[in-house]
Chains A and B, each alone.
Chain A
């Protein structure tokens, strides 16, 4: 089954304790992206990647890191989490349109993170 998976689905942690949220897709998509979703703000893009070893900042990259060592994986790293990073996080992937745009994004189930 074609899907985007995220782990963990739920995480409660404390300020300053490094954490990683994994994302994996089995559709051989070039494009992967991380979003955070907060009430009333819709989805805001954190980082995205157009292929292996190619990553770019989204709208709200501060406090986050990503890596794209393999095509299927795109982990999100919080080196020193803070309470304002409490949010619902979504990973997404898509093919890249050869005309210069991205195709439909497929989203993972979400990771609810609470930073105390």
Chain B
């Protein structure tokens, strides 16, 4: 079946280092991918997205890489800060519908001082 999963449920990173959060997907028909950040007690917040016609997209301190060959998505956060502590979710659109997202289980990012 279709699934979006994460390799690591928890990631600990030293403050100032770069973080890389990975995500695998299984639906070849998915053409839109999104990363969300969820801080404790809050709803998910959009970080960055990418469409399947791109391999890389950069935002402010964040970069998303898409490898369609191996169905892999990653989020890179540069110079990780304490405010980056959160659970990060990847999501893909349902290949049969652009109006449904399939969400991964999430990765918790912990920043060590």
When the two chains form the complex, which single residue of A4, A41, A100, A107 contacts B98, counting CB atoms closer than 8 Å?
Answer: A100
The interface bits of chain B over 69-95 (1 if a CB of A lies within 8 angstroms of the residue's CB, else 0) are: 000000000000000000001010100
Across the A-B interface, how many residue pairs have beta carbons closer than 8 Å?
A: 54
Contact A90 B89 (CB under 8 A): no
Which residue on B lies nearest to A91, using beta carbons? Answer: B43
Which residue on A lies nearest to B93, using beta carbons? Answer: A101
**Number of A interface residues in the complex (CB < 8 A):** 27
Q: How long is the Cα–Cα vector from A101 to B95 in the complex, in angstroms?
A: 11
For window 56-107 of chain A, which residues contact chain B by CB distance below 8 Å? Answer: 56, 58-59, 90, 92, 96-97, 100-102, 104-107
Which residue on A lies nearest to B47, using beta carbons? Answer: A104
When the two chains form the complex, which single residue of B45, B104, B105 contacts A107, counting CB atoms closer than 8 Å?
Answer: B45
Chain A residues within an 8 Å CB radius of B13: none
Contact B101 A45 (CB under 8 A): yes
When the two chains form the complex, which single residue of B91, B98, B105 contacts A101, counting CB atoms closer than 8 Å?
Answer: B98
Chain B residues within an 8 Å CB radius of A90: 43-44
Q: How long is the Cα–Cα vector from A41 to B93 in the complex, in angstroms?
A: 17
Contact B98 A97 (CB under 8 A): yes
When the two chains form the complex, which single residue of B98, B99, B103, B106 contacts A44, counting CB atoms closer than 8 Å?
Answer: B103
Task: Name which of B4, B43, B98, B101 has the most chain A CB atoms within 10 A of its CB.
Answer: B43
Residues of B within 8 A of A (CB): 4, 32, 34, 41-46, 49, 89, 91, 93, 98-101, 103-106
Beyond the given pairs A43-B91, A90-B43, 18 more chain A to chain B contacts, judged by CB atoms under 8 angstroms and listed by A's residue number, are: A4-B43, A41-B105, A42-B89, A42-B105, A43-B103, A44-B103, A48-B100, A90-B44, A101-B98, A102-B98, A104-B34, A104-B46, A104-B49, A105-B46, A105-B101, A106-B46, A107-B43, A110-B42
